[in-house]
Amino acid sequence: MAPDPTRTAAFRREIRATDPADIRRIVESSGYFSREEIEIAVELIDERIARGDASGYHFLFADSASGMLGYTCFGPIPATESSYDLYWIAINDDLRGHGLGRELLTRTECIVGEMGGRRLYIETSSRGQYASTQGFYTRCGYRLEAHLKDFYSQGDGKLIYVRDLTGECAR
Amino acid sequence: MAPDPTRTAAFRREIRATDPADIRRIVESSGYFSREEIEIAVELIDERIARGDASGYHFLFADSASGMLGYTCFGPIPATESSYDLYWIAINDDLRGHGLGRELLTRTECIVGEMGGRRLYIETSSRGQYASTQGFYTRCGYRLEAHLKDFYSQGDGKLIYVRDLTGECAR
């Protein structure tokens, strides 16, 4: 049996020139995201490369020897004191179910806490197709705080999850 | 008695070079907004001037002969089919209570409807200081759909209002 690449993942925060192409590959691999959503995912890393910290977008990457396995994109919400958004969390589709998503999310929460964030918000779709995503956030300690009905389109609402990070990260 | 300047307001959508300074003056006049929020308000019009429609920010201005009285800033929410955000509505502070805010909002809803928008979202603070703002949205037909507690800071949550625009605008 081939070794599980998620067991030996290396985490990094610095940006590489190859990241936009890897992010596109990972986000496309899921089959979940629309063309427009994929372009938004790539725009965020492009914006980060162009403007650095001033972009407001921060990243955490999980790499194997053969390439990027997954990543998160997060940042402070403007005009709030200590609220952060998780803009993206994505894992290469054939690596799902190995705990890498949870590890990326936990490590992201620690980074956000160190940056002064007190709560992390995550938005997702209310559609049944996202049931596993919704369950993942609940298992990771997130609370469903709002449901904006028909937000994305008729029958496709926006769910807003939040986790209070105070004291959550001890390492 | 001086004539009420809000009765003779002229409405326009095109942008003028003087708009950023006028927007700053109006947003500062309320005393409601933080320094950071004022900078965000000005950034939106700067972005509009730099990038046009591609900025995603649209404006409606109410002018008198002596200058801008108030404005709205709104636009389509990316990755949604027909949801729009009202990013800002602001009236010069000494003109509040004359119905100009409501007229700006109603005209904005008509424009959004013509652009294909089916619902308009408005976000505001849960603080008592914003009670008159909250009442204004309710009187204008908006429904409180979510309350994100402590979103802006401890004790200062985000309220999300929405109005379904389908069939609302006949003119």
The residue segments making up the domain with residue A86 are 10-164
A1-25 b/e with 16+ CB inside 10 Å = b? eeeebbeebeeeeebeeebbebbee
Give a yes or no: residue B3 inside a domain: no
For chain B, how many structural domains are there in total? Answer: 1
CB contact under 8 A, B148 and A154: no
Give a yes or no: residue A3 inside a domain: no
A160 contacts A136 by C-beta, under 8 angstroms: no
Rounded to two decimals, the pTM is 0.88
* pLDDT confidence bin for B169, thresholds 50/70/90: low
Give a yes or no: residue A22 inside a domain: yes
Supply the pLDDT for residue A97. Answer: 81
How confident is the model over B129-160, as pLDDT tens digits?
A: 899 999 999 999 999 999 999 999 999 999 99
Chain B hits for A148, CB-CB cut-off 8 Å, are: 121, 145-146, 160, 162
A-B contacts (CB, under 8 Å): 59
From first to last of its 171 residues, chain A has per-residue pLDDT tens of 556 766 789 999 999 999 999 999 999 998 878 888 899 999 999 999 999 999 999 999 999 998 999 999 999 998 899 999 999 999 998 888 889 999 999 999 999 999 999 999 999 999 998 999 999 999 999 999 999 999 999 999 999 999 999 765 655
Nearest to A148 among B37, B150, B160 (CB): B160
Give a yes or no: residue B5 inside a domain: no
Question: What ipTM was predicted for this assembly?
Answer: 0.87
Nearest to B119 among A77, A150, A162 (CB): A150
Element (H, E) at A35: helix A35-51
Give a yes or no: residue A170 inside a domain: no
Give a yes or no: residue A70 inside a domain: yes
CATH of the domain at B105: 3.40.630.30
Supply the pLDDT for residue A36. Answer: 86
CB contact under 8 A, A153 and B37: no
Give a yes or no: residue A169 inside a domain: no
Give a yes or no: residue A4 inside a domain: no
